[in-house]
Structure 1
Amino acid sequence: MLTDADLHAALRTAATRWRRSDPAREDASDYRIADLRATPGAADVLLAQRDDATARLSIGLPASGAPQYWLYAEPEDAADWVGQLLVWIDEEVFTGGLGPACTRELRGDESYVIVTNYGWQLTDGAEHARLTAAAGPLGWHGAGTL
């Protein structure tokens, strides 16, 4: 079983780099993990794009029993788990960005995107319902409980 400490350490390592939609050039949609709050069973990250758009994301770690919708294969280690998470975040950030298409939840004065079985919850109710049904209870890869 992957430990919280190993996953937090792998996330800290990943937080040192910008994620780019195009490796050859910088773009406003590039993002990085600007802050990481490590707690038992969770990681709370602040995603920040070059254009200053931000959102927090609360990630349930495996020990918490939370669904792991981003996993498409059993992770070999903490770095692989984080790699699969970052691919999932890439898909969300580089297709919809951190803008108004995502439903936000305010916690105190911080804005969080909401994790669903298909990605980040959309503000369009009909599209949210369609994608929720299409992805199924375990998400696109059926790995919600790996």
Structure 2
Amino acid sequence: MLREFSEVVDKSSLFICKNENEVRLCLEAWAKDIDKYSYQPLEDYDENKEIIDWLNSKDFIKQIIEGDFDFIERGRLINSVSVHLININDIDECLSSNEEIRNYYIELTLRLMYIFKDGAETAEEIDVGLDVTVWDESIYMLKDAYTIDDE
């Protein structure tokens, strides 16, 4: 096969990679040759990096706590509530006709910690669905948040 290829295509060579790592190294070398300044290794690329950064931010926690969502208990006996992100289960970008606005549906697990006025504490973990809108790739707005039933 190698001889046939060299007869058909003049001044060329053919390499057959024997494993996946060799293929990855070849692709990365080609990518660096094409544009060494914007090259990013495959394992470093995460298309949802910005929204994951926001989910780990104080702004997200503030929007969850200050929002009027049914899954956060409020009452005269509760002194404070804290929210901790446990796991991001799924991120789906929803189609939008406006290029400046992106909509996401996100499923995640939160730990809600309550401190009561008498000093007692309790916590619960819940699965939550979020509807998030992003304007100009920098302004994140939590439009809705609700519990996801496992049933």
TM-score (norm 1): 0.25
Structure having the higher strand fraction is 2
Tell which has more relative contact order, 1 or 2 (C-alpha 8 A, sep 6+).
1
Higher-Rg structure is 2
TM-score (norm 2): 0.24
